[in-house]
Amino acid sequence: MSVEPLVLGIETSCDETGVGVVRGTTLLADAVASSVDEHARFGGVVPEVASRAHLEAMVPTVRRALDTAGVRLADLDAVAVTSGPGLAGALLVGVAAAKAYALALDVPVYGVNHLAAHVAVDVLEHGPLPEPAIAVLVSGGHSSILRVDDVTSRLDPLGATVDDAAGEAFDKVARLLGLGFPGGPVVDRRAREGRPDAIAFPRSMLRDASYDVSFSGLKTAVARWVEARQATGEPVPVADVCASFQEAVVDVLTAKAVRACTETGIDSLLLGGGVAANSRLRALAQQRCDAAGIALRVPRPGLCTDNGAMVAALGSRLVAAGVAPSPLDLPADSAMDVRTVVSAGADA
Ligand code: KG4
Ligand code: ZN
């Protein structure tokens, strides 16, 4: 094996077929085929549609990633794949493909945790991870605050959403405003023309002692406010609603993240997941981290949303750390626990 492991990463936990190629901590290719347009008319990801799209996109996306990286399958030292958490049928496509490549190439396969991959991706842009670190992972499927002692072996959940994920709240608010799917990017854009203090939406759980968050009440508050406004016959100030809603989300997330750092004495904060692409979350996190003496690391937006590069990045770290790979009976595990970084197989 070369000094720096060459790893193929496959991600199919939701609606992105992502294939990345990483050598050591260098990103060589990040190919993504998204089925998002096929879900748009349903206002959310339809699992069966996503699985079918992964099946069709898998081999061409692997080809594209290898071509971009300028490597051949035979050059690979290992294959890493998201084995969970995520949509069961969607995960299955990636896991089956990864096993097939690993078996055919006679290289190890690592079934990795999607959340750990969201953390590990930052090495591709900013170098070795500061460990320990606090990580805030916010996307359409998950919202967690984690303590990361070693991304190859130890991630401990400090808190999580008790109801909707942050991205889900963005998607639902966008839907009720008629802004389409996915909602995050368009709410982010419209919010720039609005006032964040125009409407006082609730900050659920902001003052409680836990690191848990809740976005379902906020979503309902936005729906009630919009309905009340419509009942008066006045136009809904979409930009102000977007800005005020977004401010409520990022206020709670950044306050809890900074408190997690100060209370644990950890001075590095990492953001990841699709919602970490949010411009206001990035700005407010920077402002609050600067004020508290915390070093903030956020991957560029394209690496925050689901991709294969993050899986390859984690795979490369695992190979380098000498972590044992998964057995070939590696299952897709839709409810994989965040404390499990690498799947130990069906019987574990
Ligand atoms: O990480 P990701 O690509 O997939 C999941 O694992 O869910 O995250 C997708 C989520 C969607 O809910 C989308 O609306 C949200 O991330 N998102 C954003 C932004 N870009 C994507 N939310 C807020 N602001 C954004 N700029
Ligand atoms: Zn994700």
- What would the pLDDT profile of 218-273 be if each residue is shown by its tens digit? 999 999 999 999 999 999 999 999 999 999 999 999 999 999 999 999 999 999 99
Q: Which ligand is nearest to the CA of 116?
A: 2
User: Ligand 1: distance of its center to the CA of 189 in Å?
Assistant: 13
Band of residue 103 on the pLDDT scale cut at 50, 70, 90: very high
Q: Which atom of ligand 1 is nearest to the CA of 114?
A: 6
User: Ligand 2: distance of its center to the CA of 141 in Å?
Assistant: 7
Can you tell me the mean pLDDT for 78-97? Answer: 97
The DSSP secondary-structure symbol of 232 reads: T
Ligand 1: residues whose CB is within 6 Å?
Answer: 14, 139-141, 167, 170-171, 182-185, 188, 273-275, 277-278, 305-306
Domains identified in the chain and CATH numbers: 6-121+307-320 (3.30.420.40), 128-299 (3.30.420.40)
Q: Which ligand is nearest to the CA of 141?
A: 1
User: Ligand 1: distance of its center to the CA of 140 in Å?
Assistant: 5
- Kindly tell me if the per-residue pLDDT of 1 is higher than 60: no
Residue count of the chain, please give it. Answer: 348
d(CA 220, CA 236): 16
Place of tokens 């023309």: 193
Band of residue 347 on the pLDDT scale cut at 50, 70, 90: low
Q: Which ligand is nearest to the CA of 82?
A: 2
Among 215, 252, 275, the mutation site with the greatest number of ligand 1 atoms within 8 A of its Cβ is: 275
- What would the pLDDT profile of 131-164 be if each residue is shown by its tens digit? 999 999 999 988 999 999 999 998 999 999 999 9
Instruction: State percent of the chain over pLDDT 70.
Output: 99
Q: Which 3-state string (H, E, C) describes 245-313?
A: HHHHHHHHHHHHHHHHHHHHCCCEEEEECHHHHCHHHHHHHHHHHHHHCCEEECCCHHHHCCCHHHHHH
Q: Which atom of ligand 1 is nearest to the CA of 141?
A: 7
d(CA 52, CA 148): 34
Name every residue whose Cβ is closer than 8 Å to that of residue 32 and which is 6 or more positions away in sequence: 16, 17, 18, 19, 61, 306, 307, 308
For residues 148-181, one letter each, b for 16 or more C-beta atoms within 10 angstroms of the residue's C-beta and e for the rest, the string is beebbeebebbbbbebbbbbbbbbbbbbbbebeb
- What would the pLDDT profile of 280-304 be if each residue is shown by its tens digit? 999 999 999 999 999 999 999 999 9
- Cβ atoms of 29 and 20 within 8 Å: the answer is yes
